[in-house]
Amino acid sequence: MDVLWMAPPLLLLFPLLMWTSSTFVYYFKKCFYVAWMMVLALLAIPLCILKSGGRDVENMRVIRSLVRHVKYFLGLRFDVSGWEHLQTEGPYVIISNHQSSLDVLGLMEILPDRCTMIAKKELIYAGTVGLICWLGGIVFINRKKTSDAKSVMIDAAKTMLDDQIRLWVFPEGTRNQKGDLLPFKKGAFHLAVQAQVPIIPVVFSSYSSFYLRKQKQFNSGTIRLRILPKIETKGLTCDDIPSLSDKSFNLMRSSFLSISNSVPQSNGPCKH
């Protein structure tokens, strides 16, 4: 009977303990992820230099094989469908939605050979990760200077054809966890049309069921990855870019909403 007085404070303490432990797990997993990627990159640097002697897209094979186990530490799994759409010969542009730096795990899960990425130039300063990105042939763009970014991407279209390279672009241009896709920027579509290569859309389901940045939650979860059929660009010109971008956006958005069980945040509650 004496202990009954403890019940109300314990009841109050319980949510506090739960909150603290889930916040702790969130920060622990985030710190572990960054630290482990930095360590892996440190291991990969000499391997890549020995393999290719410097900056080379072939180094992505080393990076891909070293990153693939990281999902297990974070309690993440990938459910991939549409592998057959990546069985396309020659260069192409992959476009995907971008929610978090965790996207790198899904990217490495399906990364085809001779494929590298377009990334913001700030990434090159991320210590060993920045150096490994450079060694992996990542094309860095300055998002603050459209003319610079455009000319780098025009060069990249030529390199894709000369060196038979595939490029992965995040057409939203920034990370987004709003439960919907951001409007697409046009660079990826110019790239594909200039090189006259197909576009392969890839969709990551929403992370909101296991990863919430604002609420500091990072649980275990399964990410659905859908590789959609390629979109041809042969014969298309600059004038076709708005419709090509709209078509890709609509296909990816409906796939995203159907695999995510998520409602865009702008929508209010249902009225019956």
Ligand X SMILES: CCCCCCCC/C=C\CCCCCCCC(=O)OC[C@@H](O)COP(=O)(O)O
153 forms part of the interface with ligand LBKI3ST6 (CB under 6 A): yes
Residue among 25, 45, 47, 126 that touches ligand X (CB under 6 A): 126
Q: Which 22-41 positions form the footprint of ligand LBKI3ST6 (CB under 6 A)?
A: 37, 40-41
Shortest distance (Å) from residue 269 CB to ligand LBKI3ST6:
32
CB of 223 closer than 8 Å to CB of 233: no
Shortest distance (Å) from residue 242 CB to ligand LBKI3ST6:
7
CB of 169 closer than 8 Å to CB of 187: yes
DSSP state of 174: S
- The item of ligand LBKI3ST6, ligand X, none sharing an interface with residue 126, based on CB under 5 to 8 Å by kind, is ligand X
Shortest distance (Å) from residue 81 CB to ligand LBKI3ST6:
22
Burial 104-137 (b: 16+ CB within 10 A, else e): bbbbbbbbbebbbbbbebeeeebebbbbbbbbbb
- The item of ligand LBKI3ST6, ligand X, none sharing an interface with residue 226, based on CB under 5 to 8 Å by kind, is none
| Nearest by Cα to 58 from 67, 47, 70, 43 | 47
37 forms part of the interface with ligand X (CB under 6 A): yes
- The item of ligand LBKI3ST6, ligand X, none sharing an interface with residue 95, based on CB under 5 to 8 Å by kind, is none
Per-residue binding string, ligand LBKI3ST6, 163-192, x by CB under 6 A, is: ------xxx-xx----------xxxx-xx-
Residue 127 — left, alpha, or beta (φ > 0 → left; ψ -120 to 50 → alpha)? left
Amino acid code (one letter) for 4: L
67 forms part of the interface with ligand LBKI3ST6 (CB under 6 A): yes
Instruction: Please return the burial class of 6, using the count of CB atoms within 10 Å of its CB with bins 0-12, 13-18 and 19+.
Output: exposed
107 forms part of the interface with ligand X (CB under 6 A): no
- The item of ligand X, ligand LBKI3ST6, none sharing an interface with residue 136, based on CB under 5 to 8 Å by kind, is ligand LBKI3ST6
| Nearest by Cα to 245 from 231, 259, 264 | 231
Amino acid code (one letter) for 88: T
182 forms part of the interface with ligand X (CB under 6 A): no
Residue among 51, 85, 143, 230 that touches ligand LBKI3ST6 (CB under 6 A): 143
CB of 127 closer than 8 Å to CB of 121: no
Alpha carbon 232 to its chain's center? 23
Shortest distance (Å) from residue 250 CB to ligand X:
23
DSSP state of 88: -
Residue among 111, 129, 135, 181 that touches ligand X (CB under 6 A): 129
Tell me the CB-side half-sphere exposure of residue 117, using CA atoms within 13 A. 26
- The residues that touch ligand LBKI3ST6, with contacts defined as CB under 6 A, are 37, 40-41, 44, 63, 66-67, 98, 104, 117-120, 129, 132-133, 136, 138, 141, 143, 146, 149-150, 153-154, 169-171, 173-174, 185-188, 190-191
